[in-house]
Amino acid sequence: MKAKIRLYVDHALAAGQSIPLTKEQAHYLFGVMRLAEGAFVALFNGRDGEYIARVAEAGKRRGILVCEAQSKPLQMPPDVWLCFAPIKKARTDFIVEKAAEMGAARICPMQTEFTNSERIRRDRLQAHAVEAAEQCGGTYVPEVAEIERFGRMLDNWPDDRHILFCDEALVGDKLDFESAAKGGKWAIFIGPEGGFSDAERTRLGAHPLARSISLGPRILRADTAAVAALTLWQKQCGDWQ
């Protein structure tokens, strides 16, 4: 049983389970990808792992798949959130896509003092996370949270989650990642193109769960910084070890 196409479905998965397709999914599988009855598709829903399913009915606007067997168990990512200030649309899309591919457990847009874009389409960003999981072979889809103000986010901060504060003011300092990040739950904080304000830097600096780090000798764009910080964290504390 070989499946070239992976599809996220919002439906429980188990051997023998029938999965009705949405109009869009039927169009994609049978109109665009030209699958016919009897073909195989890999399905995941973020909860039950991955299943190989057979096309039982293929119509223009509808279709039914039947799960045959589980092909991968659910693989949860390590417990790291990416908290970032949205930037331009395409670069924000990039951050969400890369965070999902790289194994962030949750993606939290935050409104900082120097954040330019106040509005984001959460549903659009969530769809990017789903697409990234479909193409990278992941069985988990990180939730994209509603955008939240920086101050409010810290007011309600969980008392067991460490913060890895990527502080551009430390540019050029030695990257002391090993002593900054150890086990437990984490969140990476990345500022907007204008950086963190002095007040935000002071607040994070005083936070008992926050550790400030430098990301090397050059100032990185926010999207590059998000990928760099996730890479370092995954290597040191996550599932790339």
Q: In angstroms, rounded to a whole number, what is the distance separating the alpha carbons of residues 99 and 86?
A: 13
Question: Which of 4, 47, 152, 221 touches ligand SAM (CB under 6 A)?
Answer: 221
Question: Which of 8, 214, 227, 234 touches ligand SAM (CB under 6 A)?
Answer: 214
In the complex, residue closest to ligand SAM by CB: 191
Bridging pattern class, strands 161-166 and 185-190: parallel
Q: Is residue 166 near ligand SAM by the rule CB under 6 A?
A: yes
- CB of residue 214 to ligand SAM, shortest distance in Å: 4
Question: Which of 66, 74, 145, 170 touches ligand SAM (CB under 6 A)?
Answer: 170
Question: Which of 12, 76, 171, 199 touches ligand SAM (CB under 6 A)?
Answer: 171
Q: Is residue 215 near ligand SAM by the rule CB under 6 A?
A: yes
Nearer to ligand SAM, 50 or 223 (CB): 223
Question: Which of 137, 219, 235, 239 touches ligand SAM (CB under 6 A)?
Answer: 219
Q: In angstroms, rounded to a whole number, what is the distance separating the alpha carbons of residues 200 and 54?
A: 53
Nearer to ligand SAM, 8 or 186 (CB): 186
* Inter-helix orientation angle 122-136/89-102, to 10°: 40
- CB of residue 163 to ligand SAM, shortest distance in Å: 12
Question: Which of 190, 209, 227, 232 touches ligand SAM (CB under 6 A)?
Answer: 190
Question: Which of 22, 74, 168, 231 touches ligand SAM (CB under 6 A)?
Answer: 168
Cβ contact 126:92 at 8 Å: no
Nearer to ligand SAM, 65 or 83 (CB): 83
- Determine the interface stretch with ligand SAM among 10-18, 89-97, 198-206, 219-227 (rule: CB under 6 A): 219-227
- CB of residue 204 to ligand SAM, shortest distance in Å: 10
Please state, as a whole number, how many other Cβ atoms lie within 10 Å of the Cβ of residue 188. Answer: 26
Q: Is residue 227 near ligand SAM by the rule CB under 6 A?
A: no
Contacts with ligand SAM, residue ranges (CB under 6 A): 166-168, 170-171, 190-191, 193-196, 214-216, 219-222, 225
